[in-house]
Structure formats: C-alpha cells, structure tokens
Amino acid sequence: MGNVLIINSNLSSCTKISDIITNMQHNAVDVQTLDKGVQKAMTGEFDLVFLAATLSDGNGLACTSRILSIPSPPEVIIMGDPDSDTAEQAIKNGAWEYLQKPISTKSVIQAVNRVFSYREGIQASPAPRVSLKREGIIGSSRRMRQCLATVTKAANSNANVLITGDTGTGKELFARAIHANSSRAGNPFVVVDCAALPATLVESVLFGHEKGSFTGADKTVRGLISQAHGGTLFLDEVGEMDLNLQKAFLRVLQEHRFRPVGCRKEAYSDFRVIAATNRDPDRMVEQKLFRKDLLYRLNAISLGLPTLKARSGDLEELVTSLMETACRRLGTEPKGISQDFIRTLALYDWPGNVRELINTLEGAISEAYYEPVLFTKHLPEHFRILMARSAMERPETGDAAHEVNVTREVREPHGIGRPEETEELPPFRAFRESALARAEKRYLNTLMKTTRGNIKQACSVSSLGRTRLYTLLKKHGVDRMGWSNQNVT
C-alpha cells in the first residue's frame, strides 16, 4: 500500500483520481491549491504525486524540481492539456510521466501500477552503497545529483556513453569520472579531439601505421584506438567528426578491429567509448551531418549536463572550491569572498559556464593582488555594470528598512495603527518628492561604489551627462571620492 497525493484546482478531477487510487488499495490525499500541495509533497510522506501543470494559484510544472529536491522524493506525474512542448518540459524537469487531459481511469491505473512496481523493485534490491570518485565535480543541486546518478550507472556498465552539454559544462570531467569509477579505471583513458584531427593524417592518428608506410613514417606507431586497449576512448567534440571518418569508425566500434596504415593484418582493441559534444546530435542527424547508425551506437547511455545558470544553487560552493584551486595555481595567499561578490556573480548568465567562472575568478584574484578579500570591484566592468543596474530594482537593506519605517509612519499616524485616519498624511507631492530623493541618493551611492568614483564610467552606466551627474551628486551630498583610492575623472 502506498501514499498518493493529488494536487489539482479542479475538485471533481481530484475526487475522480482519488477514488481510483483508493479502489487500488492505496491511500489518497487531494488538495486544491499549489502552495499547500507543494508543502505536503515536501514532507516526504508520499510515494507518488499527481500534479496539474497549471492551477488557479500558480504553475505546477515549475514546482516539479522543487518537489524532487527532497532527500527521498516521490515520483511526479504531470497532468495537462495536449501540448508537446509542455510534455517535453515536464520530462526535462524530472517528471515520471505526462498524462493528457481528460485523464482516463485506465491511464491512472497504468501509471500507478508502473510507479509502485518500480519503487518496489528498488526496495527489493537497493543499489549498493559506493563512494563515487568525483574529483573536480562540485555541486549538490538536484541537477547535479541526477548527473552523478547517471555517472554511477554508466560506471557499472560497459555500454557506450554520449555526454551532451554547452561549452564549459565539464564534459571531459564527467567522462573521466565514469572511467575512474569503472572496472577499466586502471587502464588508459585516451582522448581523441575530433575537432583537431588532421585530415591528411587522421587514419594514422587513430589506427596507427607501420614503418615506411608513407613519407616520414620512420618508425611503427600505435594509434589512439590501440592505445585505449583495456581502457576508455574519449571522443571529444564527436559532432565535428568528418562523415567519411564516421563511416570508418562505425565498423571499428562494431567489430573493435581496425587496420593500421601500411599493415596487412587487422589489429584488435578492447575499448569502451565515451563521446561528448556541445551540439544537438539529433538535429545534426536531421541535417545529415551525423550518421544515425553511429549515433545509436554511441548513445547507449545518455548524460546531459546542465548549464551553470540551470544549477545556480551550486554557485557559492563552486566559487569557494575553485577559489582555493585558483589561488594555489596563481601562487597567491587564500582570499576571502564577500557576499556582494557572490551576489554579483549570481546576476550573470554565464554563457561560458564553469570554464568562464574559473577564468573570471583567476582575473579577480589577479586584480585583488595583495588584498585579502574579493569584492565586486575586483570583477570586470560588465559585472559591475550589471550590479549597478540591478541595484535600481533591488534596494539595499538599510534603505529598505528605512522605507518600511516611512511606510509605517504614513499608515499609522501617532502609532495608533488606523490607516483610515488620513489627517496626518503629508501631501502626496511632498511624499513623492521625499521618496524620489531617497531613491536617487541610494542609486548614486551604488553607482559611485560600483564604478569606484570613475565619472566617465558612471556616466556610461547611468546614461547621465557629466554636468547633470555632478549636480545630482552635490544635491544629495554623495562623495564620489569616498569610493576611490585616487582622483579619477
């Protein structure tokens, strides 16, 4: 007997699904609001959650990852209109299944039976506890836990693996982790950079050659495939592989046999393939840039790596760990990290992902030099501009508290707490001018702090003319020189 939660604003749908589940001898609880439903789901008391894609008080689809973030998450089945994009997003968010409305009794019964059959199988034969070697892989967000679970499965298998992900997401790092945790760990991990294979020497590089087989071949050389015997052959950026080479490599992948250049006999190599690409392999197949049969061979196990933006919860942990490594590499003393530094990094989209983050941290460390703590001012200009623009929408704590107090004074004259008594309210124009003055001063303080008093840069960020900016600084008593160690104009 299991516990099932139904979250749906439609009471009749809740009742129908609840009755079906109860008749299947499971416990059913239904709620009609998203907020209460998510709270119940995160208690860890349920094995299965039926969640509507949209409810009257919010987007259920967007809450899937939150429900799945708890230590022992339930399976989540999304219910929604016939929409392929919504169904795709539900699966990407980690949903077990997507059921189209109207929900039939048969579809509910089948879904419930599949889920409980799966969970009973896990309980009957739990996966052995292993200490995963994850050198260099940092983060504990839900997306990262999913990736590490796939690494564990791939390491316990000899099947080929295809790793996809944007540039800088750590594809080679994950490939090495799969190898390091597999039974092949003691054997070679051989990297083939498919984007850099020389067209004239590609067969020689991959398959090797005999002495005298071509001009300059003054000795017999083992190819990369031969070197990977007993270990792992990592095809980096496999999407860049030439179509002719794809055809030749397909046979090698099937037979594990190849003929070195100039050799009469075939050679054999026992290798396992892990391939990686930052391109969409399915799209490449549609465009006839990649062989479908080769993709099938490579994609026995699929591992899609998230962007840094998609795993923003790992940012502070990443920064802390990478900072230590970067300081050692640059030969500097360990540095502290201010909260404004972290907040600024969190505002950025990171198109270059973790690789860009590493380069940014090394630049900030070099900029700080002997200074012991990193602040926003140590980051490149585009980060500081981003912070300044954000400050216009996000008031700082001190001013926010002041604004709350002002609001209370307006709403509660003489502390009586009766907002209907408006005889003590200031005139609207006076109140508006006062609020505007506070907002302008807060903005100017942040602008000077972010640009370190550089008037030229401040004019660029704020789109104010030099004369207008000086006038506003004088009007609000903001000292630009307080933010700079030197007189910069």
For the chain, report the end-to-end CA distance as a whole number of angstroms: 74
What SS3 class is residue 274? Answer: strand
Asked: is 3-124 a CATH 3.10.310.10 domain? The reply is no
* pLDDT (average), residues 449-470: 80
Q: Which residue has the higher pLDDT, 183 or 409?
A: 183
- Six token digits for residue 65: 């990852």
Residue found by looking up tokens 């980096």 in the block: 236
Using DSSP, state whether 237 is helix, strand or coil: coil
Angstrom distance (rounded) from CA 294 to CA 239: 11
Tell me the per-residue pLDDT of 360-379, one tens digit each, with 9 for 90 and over: 999 999 998 888 889 988 99
Cβ atoms < 10 Å from Cβ of 206: 21
Q: Which residue has the higher pLDDT, 214 or 20?
A: 20
Q: Where in the chain is the domain with CATH 3.40.50.300?
A: 142-304
Q: Are 331 and 341 in contact (CB under 8 A)?
A: no
Write down the residue that tokens 């942990």 correspond to. Answer: 317
Q: In the chain, where does the domain assigned CATH 3.40.50.2300 lie?
A: 3-124
- Where does residue 130 rank: exposed (0-12), middle (13-18), buried (19+ CB within 10 A)? exposed
Range scoring the smallest mean pLDDT among 195-199, 341-345, 397-401 = 397-401
Single pTM value for the model: 0.67
Nearest to 376 by CA among 446, 458, 456: 446
- Check whether 206 has a pLDDT greater than 80: yes
Could you say which DSSP state residue 108 is in?
Answer: H
Region of residue 165 (left: phi > 0; alpha: psi -120 to 50; beta: else): left
Position 389 scores a pLDDT of: 81
Local structure of 54: helix, strand or coil:
strand
Pairing of the two strands 48-52 and 3-7:
parallel
The answer on pLDDT for 420 being more than 80 is: no
Share of the chain above pLDDT 70, in %: 88
The correct CATH number of 142-304 out of 2.40.50.60, 3.40.50.300, 1.50.10.20, 3.40.50.450 is 3.40.50.300
On the question of pLDDT at 409 being above 90, the answer is no
Q: Residue 202 in contact with residue 245, Cβ under 8 Å?
A: yes
Helices (H), 299-427: 315-330, 339-347, 353-368, 381-391, 397-411
Task: Name the strands in the sheet holding 3-7, side by side, starting at the edge strand that comes first in the sequence.
Answer: 27-31, 3-7, 48-52, 75-80, 97-100
Tell how far CA 43 is from the center of its chain.
25
> What value does the CA radius of gyration of the chain take, rounded to a whole number of Å?
30
Peptide bond into 82 cis (omega under 30): no
Give the list of residues 6+ apart from residue 311 with CB closer than 8 angstroms, or none. 139, 141, 143, 144
* Band of residue 134 on the pLDDT scale cut at 50, 70, 90: confident
Check residues 479 and 393 and name the one with the higher pLDDT.
479
Encoded amino acid at 229, one letter: H
Of the candidates 4, 6, 13, 7, the one whose C-alpha atom is nearest the C-alpha of residue 57 is: 7
pLDDT cut 90: percent of the chain above it: 48
Judging by DSSP bridges, how do beta strands 161-164 and 221-222 pair with one another? unpaired
Q: For position 415, what pLDDT does the model report?
A: 39
Predicted confidence (pLDDT) per residue in 215-255, tens digit: 777 888 899 999 999 999 999 999 999 898 898 889 899 99
**Mean pLDDT for the chain overall:** 85
CATH 1.10.8.60 domain span(s) along the chain: 310-379
| Domain covering 310-379: architecture | Orthogonal Bundle (1.10)
Q: Which of 64-73, 89-98, 286-295 has the lowest mean pLDDT?
A: 64-73
Q: Tell me which residue of 259, 154, 263 sits closest to 212, measured CA to CA.
A: 263
pLDDT tier at 425, thresholds 50, 70, 90: low
The tokens describing 260, both together, are 């070195």
Sign of the Cα torsion 290, 295, 298, 302 reads positive
CA dist 282 and 85 (Å) reads 17
- 113-139 average pLDDT score: 78
